[in-house]
Structure formats: structure tokens, C-alpha cells
Amino acid sequence: MSDTSLNAQSLPGDAELKDYFALLKPRVMSLVVFTAFVGLLAAPVSVHPFVGFCAILFIAIGGGASGALNMWWDADIDAIMRRTVNRPIPAGKVSEGEALALGIGLSGLSVMMLGLATNWLAGAMLAFTIFFYVVIYTMWLKRWTPQNIVIGGAAGAFPPVIGWVAATGTFSVEPILMFMIIFMWTPPHFWALALFMRSDYDDAGVPMLTVTHGRKFTRLNILVYTVLLAALAIGVSFTTAGGPVYIVVAVVLNALFLKGAFDIWRRDEDMSEADDFAVEKRFFKLSLLYLFAHFGAILADAVLLRTGVIG
């Protein structure tokens, strides 16, 4: 007896390379790459360009590995949420086992290679970051508490610290300030997303603040966290991490961010529905520019300092 049936549809195991790449959450990786790059270049120690390139590459791969493991664990809720239904696992292109193997393999590779390329403190920090994102945030906090994004946001805040440590081998106040900026930025960024994704998180049973405490309370928290973030971000201007470019960027962008948060707080659901959450979506887009601009400014000041333009 012979089996001549050959199913032309893709089966798990027949995914293309781009499907495996999609598992790594490339858009999140771009943020990891950029902030780690800034941390590395802002450090007061010169690194061989090839070593620096490898450090950023393996930090990015570690970030991607975290993404793959997150998609492995959250495959059930990804299949329910509109935002994530086309991810490789719910779309049937990659199996859960493949995602798990890829995540674990890339985690091990990235940690080992970062440690060998730079130093073992940086490797250990990358390992801890992967552990924090996958175990603490994805497996534990995300489905358990509405503070999931507040605490879990720390995972996204580690890359600039890893970049700094990769260059210097030690900690300092500057990378901790960079960590704090991303840490305080994460809640308003994701809560704005939750506001205009409406029932997506509710349908999946994820305890986002919009679901557990209501949307009005979420709007208030966006404002509160934005005020705290603005105070921190502008306060960084007066430390060694700040500089002339940073001061200008911080003042302008935090003023815009505060206005956006205030507008979100003042609105109610009827107003938001009427314009399809235009203010919330604008705030979310601004939050992306906010983070890239702040870290771009830190980088610009570091370059100006290194080249002797500023003292």
C-alpha cells in the first residue's frame, strides 16, 4: 500500500524561514537593538566595532528568543485576540514544539555568545532578562494581575543596561536611568493600546487594567504614570546621562506626551467611540516616537561628548 496523497497546504514543519523570523517579534527586536545600541555607545569605554556589532546582534537574538518563547506559551490566547491571530503558531505555520525549541536554542546561543564576545556579567544579564520576560511576565504575571505590564515592563527596560555592561563590565547610574525611562514609559504605552484594542484582551481573559478596573480608571492611570515619567525624563537632563540635545528633546516630547495623556483622561468612552479612538491611537504613536527620540538624544549627547564638541 502506498500513500500518494501529498497535502499541498503547509503543515507545521514546513514553515518558511520568514515564519520562524516572525516568531522572534521583529518589531520588538528593533526597539531592543536600538536601546542596547545606545547603552553600548553611551558608555564611556570604547569597544572594538566588531565586538560591539556582535554584542548588539546577540542581545537582539536573545530578545527574539524571548519573543519565540512568549508566542509558544501564549499560543492559546494569541488565537483569540485579533491583534495576534495571524502570528505563526495560531496561523498554523509553525508548531508549538518548534517555537519552544527555537526559543530555547536561541536563548542558549545568545547568552553564551554575548558572554564570550564581551563579558559574563552582560551574558548573565541577558539570561536574566530572558528569564524575567518568559517566566515572570509571560507565564506568571500576564494572566494573573492587572499590574502585569507595570512589573513585566522591566524586561523591555534591560537592553540599554546590557549594552552598557557589555562595554564596561560594570553598572553605573546612567544605565539605571535609561532603565527607569523605559520602565515608566511601558504602562502608559500599553494601556493606551489596550484602550483602543477594546475587547481583545477581555476576550482572551488577560487581566489588563481596562478589564479589571475599568476604562475610566485606566485613563486616570495613564495620566498618573505619564506625569511620573515626565518628571523622571526631564530630571535625567540634570544628571550625567543628560546633555543639551537631551534637554531640548525631553522638554518638548514630555510636554506633548503630557498633553496627550491629559486629553485621554478628559475623554469618556462615547467621545472615544465617536472618533474611533483617534486621541488614544495618536498617543500610542507618539509613545513610539517618544522613546526613540529620548534614546536618540542620549546617543547624540554621547557622540558630542566623545568628539569633544561638548565638555
Partner 1 sequence: MNLAREHELHQRRRGRNAGVGILLVLLICIVMGLTVVKVTSGGFEAVVTGEGS
What is the SS3 assignment for 148? helix
Tell me how far the alpha carbon of residue 70 is from its chain's centroid: 13
The answer to whether 268 contacts partner 1 (rule: CB under 8 A) is no
94 within 8 A of 63, measured Cβ to Cβ: no
Residue choice 12, 26, 28, 51 for contact with partner 1 (CB under 8 A): 51
The residue within the footprint of partner 1, chosen from 1, 2, 4, 8 (CB under 8 A), is: 8
Amino acid making up residue 285? K
Find the part of the chain contacting partner 1 (CB under 8 A) among 8-16, 162-170, 231-239, 302-310.
8-16
Stretch that binds partner 1, among 37-45, 72-80, 112-120, 180-188 (CB under 8 A): 112-120
Mark the segment that binds partner 1 (CB under 8 A) among 51-59, 125-133, 171-179, 265-273.
Answer: 51-59
Q: Cα–Cα distance between 62 and 247 in angstroms, integer?
A: 32
Q: Rule CB under 8 A: is residue 54 a binding residue for partner 1?
A: yes
Give backbone dihedrals phi and psi of 12, rounded to 5 degrees, phi first: -55, 130
CB of 124 to partner 1, least distance (A): 19
Q: Are 257 and 241 in contact (CB under 8 A)?
A: no
The identity of residue 214, as a single letter, is: G
Q: Which CB sits closer to partner 1, 50 or 238?
A: 50
In the bound state with partner 1, the residue whose beta carbon lies nearer, of 5 and 307, is: 5
State yes or no: residue 4 binds partner 1 (CB under 8 A): no
Q: Which stretch binds partner 1 (CB under 8 A): 5-13, 137-145, 275-283, 300-308?
A: 5-13
Give the CA count within 13 Å in the CB-facing half-sphere of 128.
Answer: 12
DSSP string spanning 218-250? HHHHHHHHHHHHHHHHHHHTTSTT--HHHHHHH
Compute the chain's Rg from CA coordinates.
Answer: 21
295, 34 contact by CB (below 8 A): yes
Give the residue, chosen from 50, 276, 307, 311, that forms a contact with partner 1 under the rule CB under 8 A: 50
Check binding of 95 to partner 1 (CB under 8 A). Answer: no
Asked if residue 45 binds partner 1 (CB under 8 A), the reply is no
Residue 5 engages partner 1 in binding (rule: CB under 8 A) = no
Give yes or no for residue 14 binding partner 1 (CB under 8 A).
yes
How far apart are the C-alpha atoms of 165 and 185, rounded to whole Å? 22
Q: Which three cell numbers stand for residue 217?
A: 480608571
Measure the CA–CA gap between 106 and 7, rounded to whole angstroms.
Answer: 31
Q: Is residue 6 a contact residue for partner 1 (CB under 8 A)?
A: yes
305 binds partner 1 (CB under 8 A): no
Task: Give the integer Cα–Cα distance in Å for 114 and 122.
Answer: 7
Binding part of the chain for partner 1, among 3-11, 141-149, 167-175, 270-278 by CB under 8 A, reads: 3-11
Nearer to partner 1, 1 or 6 (CB): 6
For residues 246 and 236, the answer to whether their CB atoms sit within 8 Å is yes
Binding of residue 216 to partner 1 (CB under 8 A): no
Size, binding site for partner 1 by CB under 8 A: 15
Residues binding partner 1 (CB under 8 A): 6, 8, 10, 14-17, 48, 50-51, 54, 57, 113, 116-117
